[in-house]
């Protein structure tokens, strides 16, 4: 069984295949993800924007959510079956971004419509 878990998954339909699908799907939200998550310790204060931006990109890439800020995970049409899940994930990313800013910046950006706009 351990060989199934270590298998590269190419062409396989075993347990690892499911693992790959979920881990590469930007609309997948594990139960460990919640809106109050802090992506990293430092909060963006304006003066540290370059470092903050780099840290945000790294953190979001590890969570397969970078596409919500760079536009590569496009918002589906309102009639799509994926629409509601996309909104949930985008809102989660917005929460994470706001949590990574000092309160004054977070309050000023609170009413943006999507993570991409942040």
Per the confidence metrics, is the pTM higher than 0.85? Answer: no
pLDDT tens per residue, range 8-37: 444 444 444 444 555 689 999 988 898 998
Output b/e per residue, 1-36; b: 16+ Cβ within 10 A: eeeeeeeebeeeeeebeeeeeeeeebbebeeeeeee
Q: Measure the CA dihedral 79/22/54/72, to 10°.
A: -30
Stretch 48-75: mean pLDDT, rounded? 95
**Domain spans, the chain:** 2-108
Give the pLDDT confidence of 81-117 residue by residue, as tens digits. Answer: 999 999 999 999 999 999 999 999 999 999 999 999 9
Q: Is the pLDDT of residue 48 over 60?
A: yes
Question: What pLDDT is attached to residue 31?
Answer: 87
């Amino acid at each position: 069984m351990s060989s199934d878990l270590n298998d590269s998954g190419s062409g396989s339909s075993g347990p690892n295949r499911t693992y790959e699908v979920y881990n590469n799907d930007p609309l997948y939200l594990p139960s460990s993800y919640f809106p109050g998550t802090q992506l990293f310790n430092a909060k963006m204060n304006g003066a540290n924007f370059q470092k903050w931006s780099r840290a945000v990109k790294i953190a979001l890439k590890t969570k397969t959510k970078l596409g919500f800020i760079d536009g590569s995970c496009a918002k589906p049409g309102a009639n799509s079956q994926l629409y509601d899940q996309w909104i949930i994930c985008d809102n989660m990313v917005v929460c994470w971004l706001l949590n990574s800013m000092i309160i004054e910046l977070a309050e000023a950006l609170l009413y943006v419509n999507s993570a991409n706009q942040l």
